[in-house]
Each structure stands twice: as structure tokens, then as C-alpha cells.
Amino acid sequence: MRNLITLLLLIGTVTIRAQVKLDLKNFSTKNGAKAAVHDQLLRVQWPVAKGEIGQIILNLENNKPLFNSIGLVQAGTTKEIVKNVDPVFLLTIGKRDLVSQNGWNIFFDKVPLKPHQSFKVDLTKKEAAVSSAGTRTTIKISEVIAQDFKGWIEITLYNGSRLLNVAAVMSTPNDSTAVVYDAGLAGKEKLWDQISWADVYDGMQALSVDLRDTAKNEAVKYRTVIGETKAGSIAVFPPPHQYFYPLDEAFNLRFTWHGSSYRKMIDGYGIGIRQDLYGDNRYVPWFNAPPGTQQRFNFFCWLSTASPSVTLNEVKMFTHNDTYVPLSAYKTMSSHFHNEFIMKVVLAGKPVPDTPNFIKVFNNLGIDIVHLGEFHYTAHPKGPDEQRLQELHALFQQCRRLSSNKFLLLPGEEPNNFLGGHWLELFPKPVYWIMSRNEGTPFVTEHPQYGKVYHIGNAAEMAELLKRENGLAWTAHPRTKGSVGYPDEYRDEAFFKSDRFLGAAWKAMPADLSQPRLGKRVLDLLDDMNNWGLPKKVLAEADLFSIEPENEMYAHLNVNYLKLKDLPSFKKGWQNVVDVLQKGRFFSTTGEVLIPSFTVNNKEAGDTATLGKKEKAVISFDLQWTFPLSFAEIISGDGTKVYRDKISLDETLPFGKKNIHRPLDLSNRKWVRLEVWDIAANGAFTQTVWLK
């Protein structure tokens, strides 16, 4: 009888006792996965490594834990890591302000200060389906409901890995909705012997499970909490960047939980991930949830037969231990930090440490070059002149002192004067300038201590300063925050058309869990600027304030890989950094996906490639990744429309390298660029290759 049921699974649909319809039409064993059903239990196995198989057994009977068992089969022996456990989700639903600013691109929203309500996501097992795509196997179980949100549970298994993703995929018909979610695994019996995590200073912590312990929110490093049994460990963690909606501060807000009766809404004892509803108590926008969009409230599980410390080390590999790894012929650069070290410490008369915390943080992250955004509403950009010059001098001195042959700290500001909206500047050396010019004051004066000083009174003079000193400017957080409407409103201005105006900066803002990529707002802007016919660039920006070791920095960060063989010295200046940015010789990434090379007819980003009249263009790129990849997208335009050629990468395994060589008809196109995204919405994008 069991063989008959297994055969039925392979050829169609089975109605299990209690009327749960199981659809196997889109399931295949070609990728090595197997599925079998007996009574109410659906067993799915997937290949993990030689001699090792991952296994989940799902109970399709209502009022029973969904996961009857989660484990590994090694050399024919089953090691059951956890049993009788449910995936749990809490959805908090609030109201999005779509009126006062810029619709769904809003950042200046304070959702938790408006009416909101939390709901437990309830599962009623009505239908189930197993499907295959590349090296992935997906199980869908419906229906889940939380207020007006409806959808299904989706469990995805990844060949070549002990990784699985658990999601509540849900949508709402309601407009103007913002959400956050908590999630995890919970059960009414004792599931684990011990709970472990790394504290914010990277020390392993553990406690024995007592079902009487009320749930506690825990500040951890690496966003991971681990449940240990005699058979092994299961780690629960979120997508490392996607789960963190944009904030000004990267505070560690206790993003994990463990214990009984979490928020008095979850039955039993569990472990999981969480969000603080009030964020950093500044602007707290949560996630967008436009009507009809399929929001993926998801988390990852990692299975291991090893100790919690070894398990955590395995999880950390997906984010390179929360660092940006070295890449031959490249240097990493991160931009836009309002740390205010000068005004809050150096000029405030406080002790100046030999190595401030923020330098230690950047060094530990593997960032080679940091571009600051000092004096953000804290200093005297318009004078008095002597005070302004003293502040700049202190900034230059500290950047020089804190730079070394392995780390370059670049002075920078977010001036927000003259041009419109918010913008940043970068000069290739220290430049003294004042953001005002009184009547009768020359454009350039000579100071007895500081030398040449510029006095700027309007946009034309700012453009002239950038030209004379080989500097760059670009729009900060375009089309949102203080740059709503920009750079669109000055796209026809001479300063914007100049090669000294780089373009704009990218950050994952706003956040939308239905999107398979991050930062769509600025990626769309890059396409628009390309179609405007202007060779503009987009670099990644952090736009963060305090930088401390206990912060959750990595989740909120991104980085630019600049094509630089050697790190310039502060003393000799950093013109080559400016040149690489201006030429577009870099790619930007969250860190998990790297694009070491990208060419079109052997021309790299920033160059112009010549297209043959009849021949297809040859697009070639190299990739490196940690999480299994989802897709690559070759994006091009003709000056009016944007075209997308999507390449499915669902055959990829975790931790890989690959060269992709793709002929593509780019007739009548004027430009082309590349994006690559993985299963956790981590990704990377290149600058543009122009076509003729």
C-alpha cells in the first residue's frame, strides 16, 4: 500500500484522509529529492552531501504540529534534530502614510505611533503541494490567515545544503498598509535541551530549557538563535539584510526571542526572530505591504549534528562572518556615515581615544575605505568663518591620524545647500570651503593657517568648486527622505549634467517583502538616468548615525567594490578613488553576492561597447556567492523603455562560483547593466556599459 501511495505522489494528486488535497503534478525526482506519504504524514527528502540527506516529515492533520520531524539522514541513520514543532508567525499591521510625502517611497513615517494591531497567523491545513525548480523543492500548505492577510505556508529545501526557508506568503486587499513580523519555531512539549546564541561581543551563551521560563528578547550577534538536542542543533535566523527595514540607527534591538508564551500570543516554548515595533524611536517606517502583493514573512533554518558553536560557525559562512571579503584587484568602500566624532568628541573637549570604536567596527567588517558625512546639522557650515575652518581642520586631522596603509578614512559632508534636496560631496584631498559668501567676499581667499579657502554662495559656484578641485557630488537617498523629487527636479541643470555630478546613492529603502531584490527605488532611478542619456552612476550608501561594536551593523550595511589594486594614502591624496567612481569601475553589493567582472563585447562598466549590425552582443560576467542564487537580470534601455532579460539561477548550490556567457540581441539599445540576487534577496549590481 505504501508503494502505491508513493507512486501516486509521483504522478498526480492525492486526497489524504481528512480531505487535505496533495498536489504533486509539479514535483520531480530529477534533482534528487524524494516525497512519500503515509496516512497524514508527508515525508520529503533532499540531497545535502555525499552520504547525507535532509528530511522533513509534515503532519497534514489539523490541530497537530506541522513539523512532525526535522532531521538529517547520515549513512542510513536518521538523526531527528527536532520534532512536533510548528512554524509560528506574528503579524503586526499598521497604517502607511501615502499622502503627505512620496507615496510608497516614504521614509519619514512613524507607523508605531499610529493605530496598529498584532495578530497570530493561523494555519488551517486544506491543501498542500510539492513542486520542483532547479535544485529546489518547495512545499506549499494553505491556508494561513491574519486579519485581512491570507495566503499559505511555503517551505523551500535547497540541494547541497542543510538550509531550509520557512515563509508565510500572504497578501492583503487593503491599501496604505505597513507591517512587521516575528517568527520562529514553537511547540507545547520540550523541544530542545539547550538554547544558545552569540552575544553582541561574540561570546557564546547558553541556557537550559525550562518550559516555565517566560519568553525573553535577546540581543545577539549574527541574528541567530540555536536550539540543541541530543541529535544536533537547529539554527533560526532571518534574511540578513531584507529583514531589517531602514532606520537611521543600526541599534541592536534584541532581534531574537526564546522561551514560553512569546508576547502572550504563541502557545508553548519556542525560538525565533523578532522586530521591535518602535525601532530606533526616530522615523520608523516598517515594511510596505501594497494591496495584492505577496509578502514573504520568512526565516531560515540550518540543520547540524554538531554543537551550537560549530552550528553558528556554519551559519556565519553565509555572510562571511559578517564581513566584506577581500577580492583581488578591488578595495571595499562604504559611504554616508553621520558618526559626528568631530563635534561630539574632538571639539567637545572629551578624551579622544587612540582607536575610536567606529574605526574598530569598520576594520572588523573588512571595509578598506570609509567616506564620512560629518557635520550633519551639528556644526557651522555657513560660518562664522573661523569656526567653520576649525571644524574642517579637526576633521582633516582626525581622518589623517586614523588612516593607515590598510584603512583610509575620507572626510565628507552632506551639505544640503545650493542644489536642492540632500547630497554628498567627495574631494580627492582636504579642501577648505564655507557654504556662504557675503557681498564683497572673493570666491577664493588665502588663509594664513589653512591656505586656500573657497566661499560658496550658489549652485554655479558649487559646481565651479567641484570642477576646480576634481570633486564629486551625488544625490543622497534620492526620491525619498530630504531628497523627495530629486534628482528629477534638477535633471536639466548644468551642474547635474556635469561629469562632476556622479549621480545618486543606493540603499534598501523602502522595504517591501514581496520584492525579490532590495532598493528598487534607486535601481529604477539608475535606469531612468540612463534613458535620460546621462552617464550617471549609483554607489551604495549606508546613511547611518552611531557606529558601535554592539550595533547590528552588517544587516544595515552595503559596500562598493572599487577596482583599485592598491589603497591610496591619505597624505598623497585619493584622486584614484574619485576617478574609479567617476568612471564607474565598481560594483555594489550587500556582501553575499560578488560580480568580479562584467563585460559587453569585452567592454567593462563605464565604457562604450560597439554593436555589430547583425551580431548579438556578447555579455560575460563572473559571479561568487554564499546563499543559493535566485536570478540574474540583464537590464537595458533604448532611451525610452527599459528591457529586462532574466536568467534563472535556481540550479545553483550554495557557496559557488560561475562564469555566464550570454549572447543577447541589443539592437537599438543605448545602454546595459547587470543585477544578481539570491534566495534571501541579497544582491549586487554593476554600473552601466554604454552602447553604440
DSSP string, 437-506: --TT--SEEEETTTEEEEE--SHHHHHHHHHHTT-EEEESSTTSGGGTTTTGGGTTSHHHHSTTEEEEEE
Nearest to 158 by CA among 682, 628, 623, 626: 628
Same domain? For 401 and 263 the reply is no
Any domain includes 578? yes
Q: How confident is the model at residue 614 (pLDDT cuts 50, 70, 90)?
A: confident
Q: Give, for 5, the enclosing helix (H) or strand (E).
A: helix 2-11
Same domain? For 306 and 158 the reply is yes
The per-residue pLDDT for 264 is 98
Give the CATH number, domain containing residue 549.
3.20.20.140
Same domain? For 280 and 361 the reply is no
The per-residue pLDDT for 16 is 57
HSE-up of 528 (CA within 13 Å, CB side)? 14
Same domain? For 118 and 208 the reply is yes
Q: How many CB atoms lie under 10 A from the CB of residue 445?
A: 15
Q: How confident is the model at residue 56 (pLDDT cuts 50, 70, 90)?
A: very high
Any domain includes 25? yes
| Sign of the torsion angle spanned by Cα atoms 361, 362, 363, 366 | positive
- Assess contact for 288 and 512: CB atoms under 8 A: yes
Average per-residue pLDDT in the chain? 96
Residue 11 has pLDDT above 60, yes or no: no
257: which 3 cell numbers? Answer: 526571542
DSSP state of 110: B
Same domain? For 533 and 400 the reply is yes
Residue 497 has pLDDT above 70, yes or no: yes
Q: What is the pLDDT of residues 254-285, one digit of tens each?
A: 999 999 999 999 999 999 999 999 999 999 99
Nearest to 90 by CA among 313, 276, 344: 276
Same domain? For 345 and 372 the reply is yes
| Residue where the block lists cell 580627492 | 428
% the chain with pLDDT above 90? 96
Mean pLDDT, residues 209-236:
98
What is the C-alpha radius of gyration for the chain, rounded to an integer number of angstroms? 27
Residue 187 has pLDDT above 60, yes or no: yes
Any domain includes 123? yes
- Assess contact for 518 and 240: CB atoms under 8 A: no
Q: Which of 289, 319, 349 is the last residue of a domain?
A: 319
Question: Domain range holding 370?
Answer: 331-591
Strand partners, 297: 168
Distances in Å between the alpha carbon of 290 and those of 170, 177, 334, 437, 626?
11, 6, 31, 47, 30
Distance CA 35, CA 165 (A): 18
Any domain includes 324? no
Same domain? For 284 and 419 the reply is no
Q: How confident is the model at residue 5 (pLDDT cuts 50, 70, 90)?
A: very low
Any domain includes 163? yes
Mean pLDDT, residues 171-182:
98
Nearest to 474 by CA among 498, 508, 456: 498
Distance CA 414, CA 577 (A): 18
Q: Which of 568, 591, 614 is the last residue of a domain?
A: 591
Same domain? For 336 and 283 the reply is no
Distances in Å between the alpha carbon of 536 and those of 80, 142, 522, 585, 678?
54, 46, 12, 12, 26
Any domain includes 326? no
Q: Which residues touch 132 (CB under 8 Å, ≥6 apart)?
A: 26, 27, 28, 30, 31, 33, 138
Distance CA 64, CA 71 (A): 18
Any domain includes 556? yes
Nearest to 560 by CA among 533, 587, 590, 531: 587
- Assess contact for 117 and 107: CB atoms under 8 A: no
Same domain? For 532 and 418 the reply is yes
Q: Are strands 221-229 and 295-304 parallel, antiparallel or unpaired?
A: unpaired
Q: Give, for 58, the enclosing helix (H) or strand (E).
A: strand 52-59
- Assess contact for 587 and 622: CB atoms under 8 A: no
| Residue where the block lists cell 533604448 | 638
Q: Which of 576, 591, 606 is the last residue of a domain?
A: 591
pTM, entire model? 0.96
Side chain identity at residue 376, one-letter code: H
- Assess contact for 228 and 196: CB atoms under 8 A: yes
**Domain total of the chain:** 3
- Assess contact for 164 and 66: CB atoms under 8 A: no
Indicate the burial class of 520 (C-beta count within 10 angstroms; 0-12, 13-18, 19 or more). middle
Q: What is the pLDDT of residues 545-559, one digit of tens each?
A: 999 999 999 999 999
User: What is the b/e burial string over 589-610, where b = at least 16 CB atoms within 10 angstroms of the residue's CB?
Assistant: bbbbbbbbebbbbebbbbbebe
The per-residue pLDDT for 15 is 59
The per-residue pLDDT for 612 is 87
Any domain includes 325? no
Same domain? For 638 and 575 the reply is no
210: which 3 cell numbers? Answer: 525550562
Side chain identity at residue 654, one-letter code: P
Residue 3 has pLDDT above 90, yes or no: no
Same domain? For 692 and 648 the reply is yes
Residue 534 has pLDDT above 90, yes or no: yes
Give the CATH number, domain containing residue 79.
2.70.98
Give the CATH number, domain containing residue 661.
2.60.40.770
Q: Are strands 683-686 and 67-74 parallel, antiparallel or unpaired?
A: unpaired
Mean pLDDT, residues 609-624:
94
- Assess contact for 552 and 573: CB atoms under 8 A: no
678: which 3 cell numbers? Answer: 539570491
Same domain? For 257 and 128 the reply is yes
Q: How confident is the model at residue 615 (pLDDT cuts 50, 70, 90)?
A: confident
Q: What is the pLDDT of residues 277-321, one digit of tens each?
A: 999 999 999 999 999 999 999 999 999 999 999 999 999 999 999
Distance CA 127, CA 14 (A): 10
- Assess contact for 411 and 578: CB atoms under 8 A: no
Mean pLDDT, residues 390-409:
98
Please report which residue ranges of 498-646 form alpha helices under DSSP H.
520-531, 553-556, 575-583
Side chain identity at residue 349, one-letter code: G
- Assess contact for 540 and 424: CB atoms under 8 A: no
- Assess contact for 635 and 644: CB atoms under 8 A: yes
398: which 3 cell numbers? Answer: 582626525
Q: How confident is the model at residue 340 (pLDDT cuts 50, 70, 90)?
A: very high
Instruction: Tell me the three state secondary structure of residue 654.
Output: coil
Residue 2 has pLDDT above 80, yes or no: no
